[in-house]
Structure 1
Amino acid sequence: MSDSMLRIGVLSAAHGHAAGYLGHLGARRDVAVLFSDPDSAPDQLDRGARLAEASGASWVEDPTELLAGSDVVIVCSENARHHDDVMAALAQGCHVLCEKPMATTAADALDMWQAASGAGLVLGVAHPVRQSAAYRHLRARVEAGALGSVLSLLGTNNGMLPRDRAWFTQPQWSGGGALADHLVHCTDLIDGLLDRPAVRVRAVTNRILEQEPPTEVETGGIVTIEYEQGFIATVDCSWSQPRTAPTWGGLTLDVIGTKGRLRIDPFNLRVAGYADGGPQWWAYGSDMDADMIDNFVNAVRGRASIDADAVAGVRSVEIMAAAIESARSGGRAVQVQSSMSAPT
């Protein structure tokens, strides 16, 4: 598959990132893009066809036809559909890039990883911040021992509540609120730095932010994670970016070691100012989503390893599940139930 034209199917526009992925894929000359949107609401039945036309993708009404006609599938459905959609794609022999979180339960995430591993297929999770120059520099410094022994990490992933996608605040589809949406980005990056499992988690949440209209899920959350060898990470994963802000939000990591400290802010490359419409934000630098897709395509072609792989994806879902349980219990410590094992 290293030189052939790849047929890439994008399944669902439930997640807002689908439009961006279609745009990036449409700019490539080494892929043919198919698109199906089986998850559209009754009042948005033409959403997928319009998006396909705008991006130049081939519209496929029946998602089973998309799976049968694709070498690779990018799953952008609601979180609760990830497991079934990924398993269906793997059953067709497709490599898969799945939106985060990988699944809403650790059992489902493990099932997906085992199926992909058993079939010899690439399964990646959409964590584009791994592609940022800032994160790559941080990882290189940590691996070189420049910070000494890593002691702790402070992470933030704060953004706007995605009101244009109602399912984000419906737990039967999202699996949770801010914990499901933002915690996993930070835990994935921590996994890339340390490559060690978490031991226990404490989480506290509330719904003080974004009260109108009321939500069924948490909008604010602070999570403390203890890893093997005593490393501790604290993550603020709240939907705390005001709707009047010029950009969706951002992510930071502050790594503290015995020899030093290093902080990254990958989304903060911008020119900012004010115009008649209010505060402005013009980002510059490489596009992490485009770089993530490039890494995924290269992994499928055998030219690279997938950066955010399914092993890290399972670990992040295990932490997310423990955090949700901890928050429901009032913040008590919850052991991370890791069932990772070699696939059979």
Structure 2
Amino acid sequence: MSSSEVGKDGVRGARPGREAQVGKGLRRRQGRHGRRRGEKAMVPEAEFTSYYGKPVLNPPVWKASDVAAYLFLGGLAGAGSMLAAGAQLTGRPAAARALKISSLGAIAGSTAALIHDLGRPGRFYNMLRVMKPTSPMSVGSWVLAGYGPAAGAAAVLDVTGLFPRLGVAATAGAAALGPAVASYTAVLIADTAVPAWHEVHRELPLLFVGSSTTAAAGMALVASPVRETGPMRTAAVFGTALELAAAKRLRRRAGLAAEPYTVGRAGRLVRAGEILSAAGAAGGVLLGGRGRAGALLSGAALLAGSACTRFGVFYAGMQSAEDPKYTVVPQRERLASRVSEPTS
């Protein structure tokens, strides 16, 4: 009989060894995840592709002319107020006045760019109706609301010579808020889901502080007498060193999320920013104190380098939001690292 049959009397024609045996032929599952160490999965891990090639994230709708300019001008204003206070304390009135005026112009331009991005001026006012310490946007709005009048009073009272004591207080107030103005935008964009910004939330504030310092030092070299720019040249070297060190650590630590800073438009801008900042700092040290032409060229290079860095950071975020791999691959790497951790 070639096959078995089941009837009222039982199974007829059954061949020995053909009975189903529970568990026979199956390897005992070992380990936390059901495979022995060193075993290969029968089915290879699928490569990620997004639905019809669409991004996993919706890229920000921000425009570079608004948001990237807002990042650059805010940094220039905040660091400029700190250098202005230092220049005033060390007896450099022309440099202090130039930096106060440039800080007022920069914060006015930064606020205008922010309001233009928001669409209506009333939206900025509405952000001041509440104070939410856990929201970088809310905190930043209040910082701008306090810094703007202080920077404006410092500049106007210095130019007019009125109420000198009040001018000193306004200068001190703007300098006290300057570090927050120079760096809070880094916290603001790092608080988003954009991979190239969120994954480098530790390095981005340092990068912005360094870039802000180089911009303010460059403005001082451009707008101040050569005889008063000694500390500004030192600040340029410090800012450039901090910016380059933060950029190097960002690329080393962030892994795939740092790739947008090295490719495409963002990569070109970031590289240009590093080269211009380094050239401006070197020119400031070697030529800035010898003549007006050297100071102008060095200051312009520092300003251009800082602007390129901010625009490069902006475009890096946009590139990372548009490519799904920058969202999915780091998530898988974090999941794999947690799975491989030994259990207690």
- Rg larger in 1 or in 2? 2
Give the TM-score taking structure 1 as reference length: 0.27
Give the TM-score taking structure 2 as reference length: 0.27
Whose strand fraction is larger, Structure 1's or Structure 2's? 1
